[in-house]
Amino acid sequence: MNSPARHYPARHLDLAGMGHPAAPLPTSNRTERYDATLRHAGHSSPAAASDPLADYRVRSEPYYRPLSDEIELFEAAYAVRMPVMIKGPTGCGKTRFIEHMAWRLGKPLVTVACHEDLTASDLVGRFLLDAQGTRWQDGPLALAARLGAICYLDEVVEARQDTTVVIHPLSDARRMLMLEKKGEALHAHPDFQLVISYNPGYQSLLKDLKQSTKQRFAALDFDYPEHEVEVEIVAHESGVDRDTAAKLVHIGARARNLKGHGLVEGMSTRMLIHAGSLIARSVAPLTACRMALVRPLTDDADMRDVLDAAVGTYF
């Protein structure tokens, strides 16, 4: 077992050298994300000058504990470049799975966090004005399609429907992206694959994906892992011992039973890892659980008391 400091902060602080081939254990999960603001401002890493996808390569194995046969199913879909939709509640491992699959398949991963102000140009690209005049800047979707990356549109349902339709010609047999402003019909690189994620629990009728979008994708259903697997994940990711991880997972299961009975969402694996990470940093378990599990989950005083009491039966 690695020290907790190696796992949890590595992911969030992006410690230098974590992705170096000489690193003893491949747990850093170093995946670069697309940052439209930085790129459009002209900042990118020096490596990007020779390899435009350098910033998107997954350099070491992201730890991923399979829940079922999802790895094989995704590999089969990738083999025929079938677009894939990952469905599941927040914090259940969707992003980690895609990071792992990109590493496993040896493909760069371009991730776009979708939101309601995302425009088609943000995805496809735009002309920029600089000292030399105007030049075209591929958006993340065009970049991935042109150079052969996996493009992961996270929480795609957040984007407006008129934005989502730009993926239609790319996600059917045409595998093509129209760069209308540039007047280019971009044919996707043979390695390109489109992956989208969303949390069906949050969707309203107004915010659901169109059938014509949904039906272009194969779907994998994700959920919180079963007890033993979740204990393993929480222990690995947070650095707590198995007994403590098991207690956290029991608390998670109790809270998940309250979904629809006062809680809108279950207590995610991510939250359990947060609590474990605080405990591994010597925070008292009761305090850690209140801070990482109960307070973020509800603002309702009665529900908070119920959850605090549940925590109290384990710690």
Enumerate binding residues for ligand ATP (CB under 6 A): 63-65, 67, 88, 90-96, 199, 225, 233, 237, 269-270, 273
User: Which residue is closest to ligand ATP by CB?
Assistant: 93
Kindly give, in sequence order, each residue whose CB lies less than 8 Å from that of residue 289, ignoring residues fewer than 6 positions away.
248, 251, 275, 311, 315
Distances (CA, A) of 169 to 124, 213, 215: 13, 10, 13
| Rounded least distance, CB 238 to ligand ATP, Å | 8
| Rounded least distance, CB 119 to ligand ATP, Å | 22
DSSP state of 259: B
| Rounded least distance, CB 21 to ligand ATP, Å | 22
The neighbour count for residue 182, using CB atoms within 10 Å, is: 15
* 199 near Mg ion (CB under 5 A): no
CA distance linking residue 22 with residue 6, whole number of Å = 15
Minimum CB distance to Mg ion smaller for 118 or for 310: 118
Minimum CB distance to ligand ATP smaller for 91 or for 239: 91
Minimum CB distance to ligand ATP smaller for 124 or for 209: 209
Minimum CB distance to Mg ion smaller for 95 or for 269: 95
| Rounded least distance, CB 64 to ligand ATP, Å | 4
Distances (CA, A) of 186 to 84, 161, 177, 191: 21, 21, 5, 14
93 binds, among ligand ATP, Mg ion, none (CB under 5 to 8 A by kind): ligand ATP
Q: Is 240 helix (H, G, I), strand (E, B) or coil?
A: coil
269 binds, among ligand ATP, Mg ion, none (CB under 5 to 8 A by kind): ligand ATP
Q: Return phi, psi of residue 154, to 5°.
A: -80, 135
Distances (CA, A) of 60 to 26, 103, 119: 5, 7, 32
Question: Measuring CA to CA, which residue among 103, 140, 92, 135 is closest to residue 120?
Answer: 140
Contacting range for Mg ion; rule: CB under 5 A; set: 42-50, 91-99, 112-120, 180-188: 91-99
| Rounded least distance, CB 186 to ligand ATP, Å | 28
Write the binding mask 93 to 122 for Mg ion: x where contact by CB under 5 A, - elsewhere.
Answer: --x---------------------------
Token couple for 95: 């992003």
